[in-house]
Structure 1
Amino acid sequence: MHKIKVAVLSDEELLGTTLVAFLNKQTEVEVVRIFKDGESALSGIEKQPVDVLLFDIHLPGISGIEVVGRLKERCPAMACLALTSKDDDGTIFEALHAGASGYLLRNAGNTAIIEGIKDVYKGGFPMSSMVTRKVINRLFVAPAPGLKSEKLSQRENEILLQLSKGYRYKEIAAHFFISVETVRTHIRNIYEKLQVNSRAEAIRKVKDSMTASIHNT
């Protein structure tokens, strides 16, 4: 029977638990590599590919999210499963956008983690229940009312709203499941259509336009 070859990328906190020993006791899973930082994972996994990378977000040096983004370009068939204590929206969607195929919180328990590894290997998308709720809310809940200009497309208005909330380009990209370069293109188009040169000018101009429209009604 084929064992799922797993690499673990995490800090001392996770490695100090019984998780690795637990995984190696499973008949379907084998932990073949353990990495404590992103740089070693990049070089090691490229030399010895694995089926599943179980990774943490915060690491010494480059983050787990950046590691996944790079590795998915080199090893597209490898499944990447986040295992972290970070549960904020920005981190979750940055990880998913980078190429993570699942997102589990550390308090999920060893049984849930092993089931997550088997699920992601088979093409599933395991997530902790709270993460699932956040993803559903982001994808299906109607956006809150906010800035809107008739000069802009629907997506441009959506991005302008995100800009007004102070989100960074990476966070906006993760929110809409698009690349950072696509975000930059939309923002250039926004500036050109509104004839402005900055985020602040764009927000102020649309706010002024909306206020004038209300007063004229």
Structure 2
Amino acid sequence: MPVRILMYDDHEALRQSMETLIREEPDMEMIAAMSNAETVETDIRELKPDVVLMDIDMPAVNGVSAVKRIRQMDAVLPVIMLTVFDDNENIFNAVCAGASGYILKRCATEEIPSAIRNVLSGGAPMTGTVARKILQMVPAAKGPDTENVDLSQREVQILQLLARGFSYKMIAVEIKISMDTVRFHIKNIYDKLHVHSAPEAVSKGLKGKLISLLF
């Protein structure tokens, strides 16, 4: 079955462009493209998407608020932010809200299909400039105290691989464990760090010096 994609963006031209792009991917289907996220909870329940593409700057309910609302009802549904903004505040707010990835609209044509496949494999797809900004933001990021977080040696290893951009499948191959075991460890990491996404886990792991930028 094709991957079911739900999109929110208030620009009609971009919605049409993305629908055309997705239509060319044989393993993907755009099930709906909405102009706003006011009914996001109902949409998720009724349409049952596999991935959500979310613009940040929308009227009524912006993308960050919409992600927070999604996370209240579904902690694991992949949500990729699709936006023109690459400023620190928008990136940080989106990651902390539980976004799974962050792609700039100017890069959408080249990056969105692979980003969708990446996020479904457990990755955290980001446009390169955004990834660099997140790493630069880490020292000033606000988050819960990580001094007393007790990650196992294996969990630290997996978190370090997430920081390097490894997908769940890549992690499984790298350290020779099953995908189910990877998911088990990552769930424990999220629970211990009180996060809902790989980017947020990496940011808090770096801030708390649980992992290092030196790979």
2:22–2:28 CA contact under 8 A, matched in 1? yes
Q: Which residue of 1 aligns with 2:29?
A: 30
1:15 correspondence with 2:14: yes
The percent identity for this pair of structures is: 27
Instruction: State the Cα distance separating 1:12 from its structure 2 match.
Output: 1.9
C-alpha distance in 1, partners of 2:51/2:13? 17
Greater relative contact order (CA < 8 Å, ≥ 6 in sequence): 2
Deviations 1:181-201 (A, max 9, x none): xxxxxxxxxxxxxxxxxxxxx
1:34 to partner: Cα distance: 1.5
1:31-90 CA-partner distances (Å, limit 9, x unpaired): 112111111333211222211000100112011110111111212231000000011101
Matches within 5 A, 1:93-132: 93-132=92-131
Tell me by how many angstroms 1:114 deviates.
0.9
Instruction: Structure 2: give runs of 5+ residues left out of the alignment.
Output: 148-199, 205-215
Structure 1 contact 46–74 (Cα < 8 Å) conserved: no
2:135 is equivalent to residue 133 of structure 1: no
Is the 1:54–1:83 Cα contact (8 Å) retained in structure 2? yes
Structure 1 residues not aligned, in runs of 5+: 144-152, 156-173, 178-217
* Contact 1:9–1:37 (CA under 8 A) maintained in structure 2: yes
CA shift for structure 1 position 138:
1.8
Give the letter aligned to residue 23 of structure 1: I
Q: Distance in 1 between matches of 2:2 and 2:15?
A: 24
Partner in structure 2 of residue 56 of structure 1 = 55
- How far off is 1:13 after superposition? 4.6
Task: Give 1:152-167 correspondences, 5 Å limit.
Answer: none
1:69 aligns with 2:71: no
TM-score, structure 1 length as denominator? Answer: 0.61
Of the structure 1 ranges 68-77 and 89-98, higher mean CA displacement relative to structure 2 is found in: 68-77
Provide Cα deviations, 1:76-108, integer angstroms capped at 9, x if missing partner. 231000000011101101001111010010111
**Equivalent pairs, count:** 147
SS in 1 for 2:118: helix
Separation (CA, whole Å) in 2 of partners of 1:17 and 1:92: 25
Q: Partner residue of 2:85?
A: 86
Q: Rate the CA distance shift 1:98–1:16 in 2: closer, same or farther, 3 A.
A: closer
Q: Does the residue aligned with 1:50 lie in a helix, a strand or coil? A: coil
